[in-house]
Structure 1
Amino acid sequence: MTASERVGGRRKPDGYDPQRTRRALVDSALARFERDGFDRTTLQDIVDDAGLTKGAFYYHFDGKEEVLWQIQNEYLDTQIAQATAIVTGSDAPVEQLRALIGLSLLGAADYRSHVAIFHQERRHLTGDRLDSIIRKRDELEQHFRDAVRRGIEQGVFRSALNERIVTFAIIGMCASAFQWYRPGGRLSIDEVAGQFCDLVLDGLLA
């Protein structure tokens, strides 16, 4: 019997689905980290909520930090892929920035728990894992910054603007949405995104 045939020292049961098991563990950790925080969440909490064992956990992850890293990657990888598609699909800075703001707000709604954990629990990552998340965060932010810079260079946005300050202001405003936006409220996320875009662009346009 090979190690890959075992979970926690036991033979995998017939019909064992490693992807489903891994997903269950990530989802369990996601809910726990958001509710209780990384420090207060125990490994036993995660496996109990997932209906699994510690053996199953260690088959997929080396510890809580790796699960936290996985959660961060899920959100950032999705955002980066979509942001890249936005900036390569249009040369117009206004269209790019409007789409990027919409993407960020939709991310805060669709990945609310991921975003909350990204901002509140990222400090628990260390070493190469932390470095990789910072690189991805910077890559995502660069798409916003490039759109702002192009708008200034093309005379579409006001020349007195500092692209770095503008970028941080936009991202900070969008990132805060996870704290107050709730699906089913008076405004849909698309309506919120529209108002955010109007607010930002009114302050940028030359």
Structure 2
Amino acid sequence: MKDSHVADDVTRAAVELFARQGYANTSVQQIVEAAGVTKGAMYHYFESKDDLLFGIYERLLTLQKAHLDAIIERGGSVDEVLRAVCIDVLETSIDYMEEGAVFFRSLNMLSAPRHQEVTRRRRAYHDEFAELISRGQAEGIYRADIPLAMLVAHFFSDVHYLSHWYSPEGPEDKTLVAEQITDLFLSSIRRMDADT
């Protein structure tokens, strides 16, 4: 096994074990045995089990933030940009659904500094997302009669609920699901008298 694959193998093993038996019930020994590595190899990449749990979600946060920045950088109308961002969040959340589900079930077990870091980074992402809606409100596209925070929460509640019903083995294609949820969200925040 190449050294560069160790972190990925450990992460994959941890996700599978955390999903099957829970974070608290999974030992570092079980993780390294499932990954086929030594504890020393694991500790080269992860300081602790807490660090590993944080790393699982950190990868998704980093990916989604990079995509958000790239989509905004490309430009376009606020409606086009927000639609592209929504679809990306949904597709990447489906791609990393097991990781997301494990993380949200175990979030309360993170150490206080890690919990604060996740909260900070998620808030930063949500703030950029909210700024897009705010721009649309200023342009008269999106409704302003509902607090901005509620509009943001409305979308992300759908994202976080995905793991409760979506199955990659099911008949729904991830892109179609992402587009349909996005269209429902955008329809719900669009002003009835806005030009489409």
| Moved >6 Å (runs of 4+) | none
In 1, Cα distance between the equivalents of 2:73 and 2:103?
26
Q: Deviation at 1:91?
A: 4.4
Can you give the 5+ residue segments of structure 2 that lack an aligned partner in the other structure? 192-196
Query: Do the aligned partners of residues 34 and 155 (structure 1) sit closer, same or farther apart at CA in structure 2, a change above 3 Å counting?
Result: same
1:139 is aligned to 124
Q: 1:102–1:190: 8 Å Cα contact kept in structure 2?
A: yes
Q: 1:104–1:175: 8 Å Cα contact kept in structure 2?
A: no
Partner SS state of residue 183, structure 1: coil
Q: 1:25–1:46: 8 Å Cα contact kept in structure 2?
A: yes
1:3 is aligned to none
1:130 is aligned to 115
In 2, Cα distance between the equivalents of 1:198 and 1:60?
40
Alignment of structure 1 residues 14-33 onto 2, 5 Å: 17-33=2-18
Q: Deviations over 1:37-66 (max 9, x none)?
A: 110111111011111222332333222111
Q: 1:57 aligns with which of 42, 49, 70?
A: 42
Residue-pair matches, total: 191
Q: 1:99 aligns with which of 77, 80, 84?
A: 84
1:198 is aligned to 183
Q: Deviation at 1:162?
A: 1.5
Larger Rg: 1
Q: Given the two structures, how large is their TM-score scaled by the length of structure 1?
A: 0.86
1:84 is aligned to 69
Q: 2:100 matched to 1:115?
A: yes
In 2, Cα distance between the equivalents of 1:165 and 1:108?
21
Q: Deviation at 1:157?
A: 0.8
- The alignment yields a C-alpha RMSD, in angstroms, of 1.6
Q: 2:137 matched to 1:152?
A: yes
Partner SS state of residue 176, structure 1: helix
- Paired amino acid for 2:20: R
In 2, Cα distance between the equivalents of 1:80 and 1:115?
15
Q: Deviation at 1:84?
A: 1.4
Q: 1:179 aligns with which of 139, 164, 168?
A: 164
2:194 is aligned to none
Query: Do the aligned partners of residues 58 and 94 (structure 1) sit closer, same or farther apart at CA in structure 2, a change above 3 Å counting?
Result: same
Q: 1:112–1:178: 8 Å Cα contact kept in structure 2?
A: yes
Q: Deviation at 1:160?
A: 1.2
Q: Given the two structures, how large is their TM-score scaled by the length of structure 2?
A: 0.90
2:29 is aligned to 44
Partner SS state of residue 20, structure 1: helix
Q: Deviation at 1:195?
A: 1.4
